[in-house]
Structure 1
Amino acid sequence: MKTLITGVMLGFALLAAPLAASAQSMHTAMSDDGKDLRVSEKRGNGRLSESNKGSTGYSGIAAALEQRLPTSEIAAIRALEPIGPESIIGADTRKQVNNTRKYPYRAVTLITFEEGRCTGWMVSPRLVVTAGHCVYDPGVGYYSKSSFRVYPGYTGTTAPYGSCRAKRLFTVAGWANSGRDDYDYGAIKLKCKVGNKTGWFGYFWKKGSLKRLPTKIAGYPGDKPLTQWYSRGRVTVSQPRRVFYKNDTTGGMSGSPVYYNRSDNCSPCSMAIHAYGTYGSAPFSTNNHGTRINRSVFNNISNWK
């Protein structure tokens, strides 16, 4: 069995390490088929990728009950280790998503694979964004592609939109080769186009500070019975490659979208990929954080789509 090297363990060890290569080369995209992918300079309309509500094709509880999973599959999911030692900061302010067939919660996915379970979020009919450490162990390599199953809107014992297998896995050199927490992002290209039903999140980048922007994080915390939960907060510290906040999270929520609702065509709109709890010194000791969607991250996600 492979040994999972979590983002916290590697990231904390390398926080003070000097960059061995340029920031651009650290964002060099990689896939599980061994091909390096050049960062695309095409950026859609520049700084924003639009959200999409999809067309679910489902109505009411009866449709969801048709996707109730076998007891054996539920037991197998529950046996998987939630990935990531994220943190509750002060009082637990998380709230359960009672209807995961509602947008955008149906576009949040439970991800299971050989070593554990994480969270992801749809950005197109076939692409799910998640944390790099949910697809790749820097000490070993990519997790087995055949072991991945992605369940949009999963809740309890029910998968309203079924599950999809992985066709291709992505991450970047900064995570794969150096295990740096500020490059800890990846994606899964699916074999199905479930995003046409569930819809997907928008995402954006900007040069300036994100401080004080609202933050909402939705995902699958490991201390809850395979249900989706969310928390609200604001950006407390904004760095070029990290976003910090006090939203409560626990293991299993690695890869969750860090988003807010805008007044344009990007609502909900993600600014970061959540992955880390509290550790070390400030601002890490008093905040959870994730990898910021800057221009290079934006371009990679858009290229992977």
Structure 2
Amino acid sequence: VTEGSSSGYIPDDCSFGNISDDGYGIEPTNIIGSDGRSRVTNTTSFPYSAICYLETKWKDGTTTIGTAWMYWKDIAITAGHCVYSSDRGGWAKSVTIWPGRNGSTTPYGSAYAKVMHTSTAWTNSSNANYDYGLLELNKNIGTSTGYFGMHWTSSSLNGKSITVAGYPGSSIKIRQLWKMNGKVASCNANKVYYSIDTEGGQSGSPVYWYNSTYGYQGIAIHAYGGSSNNSGTRITQSLFDFFTSFRD
């Protein structure tokens, strides 16, 4: 087996987003050249309805923001550093998400994580190759928002067209969904690199593409900014199997 896929879900009352939209999206502010991001205002159309503004409250009393994306009716995917931080006391006290948030408008309300998961490689040594998180939510909010599929492959992703969409943390963009399209610049076994503009707050954003058979599929989880490329945690076979095991 060299690759695998899972399908997403679009509710009947959730309109379908234009798959050819030009877009915009990561962390800290990493704008490569001019800022190519654009704001998404139709956050109740899929797949934007399944992308979530996230707030984490930590044991040291601080609160941080991030992004998550629905992968099942009660499962959301995010970055590991949105659920566990050795600098902030370890596991988060609480993580709350608002799917499809658009400023002060929260069309699907909120849900919180009953259980949080990440890799021991992340909790023990902050290994960036394993910076991922999974949230088991307190309600089946994904039946209203829809949810992404997922894809893994052992082949190169170089040159593949992708989108990154999430919630930047800057004061003029906070609680707004922004996205950008681009291509995979390079990849290795655990990371995917791209020159898509990102900003703090977009950690946990889906790095996704559209497949005519399976729909919108996450292929990585945005996690880091860089001087020439930004990057996400690649969906590997083992990570795909782990995430998909929570689909009942």
Give TM-score, length-normalised by structure 2. Answer: 0.88
Counterpart residue identity of residue 8, structure 2: S
Give the superposition deviation at 1:93.
0.4
Give the superposition deviation at 1:141.
1.8
1:260 corresponding residue in structure 2: 209
Work out whether residues 86 and 276 of structure 1, in 8 Å CA contact, stay in contact via their aligned partners in 2.
no
2-side partners of 1:288 and 1:86: how far apart?
10
SS at match of 2:11: coil
2-side partners of 1:117 and 1:54: how far apart?
27
1:275 corresponding residue in structure 2: 223
Structure 1's unaligned 5+ residue stretches are: 1-42, 59-82, 279-284
2-side partners of 1:160 and 1:226: how far apart?
13
Counterpart residue identity of residue 245, structure 2: N
Matched, 1:290 2:247: no
2:8 corresponding residue in structure 1: 51
Give the structure with the higher percent strand. 2
1:235 corresponding residue in structure 2: 184
1:183-262 to structure 2, matched below 5 A, reads: 183-223=130-170, 224-262=173-211
Work out whether residues 87 and 248 of structure 1, in 8 Å CA contact, stay in contact via their aligned partners in 2.
yes
Change (3 A) 1:56 1:172: farther
> Which deviations, in whole Å up to 9, do the C-alpha atoms of 1:111-139 show, x marking residues without a partner?
11212110000000000000000000135
Counterpart residue identity of residue 52, structure 1: Y
From 134, 147, 172, the equivalent of 2:82 is 134
Give the superposition deviation at 1:54.
2.3
Counterpart residue identity of residue 54, structure 2: I
Change (3 A) 1:286 1:84: closer
Counterpart residue identity of residue 197, structure 1: S
Counterpart residue identity of residue 117, structure 2: F
Structure 1 segments of 4+ aligned residues over 6 angstroms from their partners: none
Give the superposition deviation at 1:148.
2.1
Work out whether residues 153 and 161 of structure 1, in 8 Å CA contact, stay in contact via their aligned partners in 2.
yes
Give the superposition deviation at 1:225.
3.4
Bigger radius of gyration: 1
Counterpart residue identity of residue 228, structure 2: T
Work out whether residues 138 and 178 of structure 1, in 8 Å CA contact, stay in contact via their aligned partners in 2.
no
Give the superposition deviation at 1:56.
4.6
SS at match of 1:212: coil
SS at match of 2:134: strand
SS at match of 2:52: strand
1-side partners of 2:194 and 2:51: how far apart?
20
1:97 corresponding residue in structure 2: 40
Counterpart residue identity of residue 243, structure 1: V
Matched, 1:122 2:65: no
Matched, 1:148 2:95: yes
Q: CA RMSD in A?
A: 1.7
SS at match of 2:242: helix
SS at match of 2:72: coil
Give TM-score, length-normalised by structure 1. Answer: 0.72
The percentage of aligned residue pairs carrying the same residue is 39
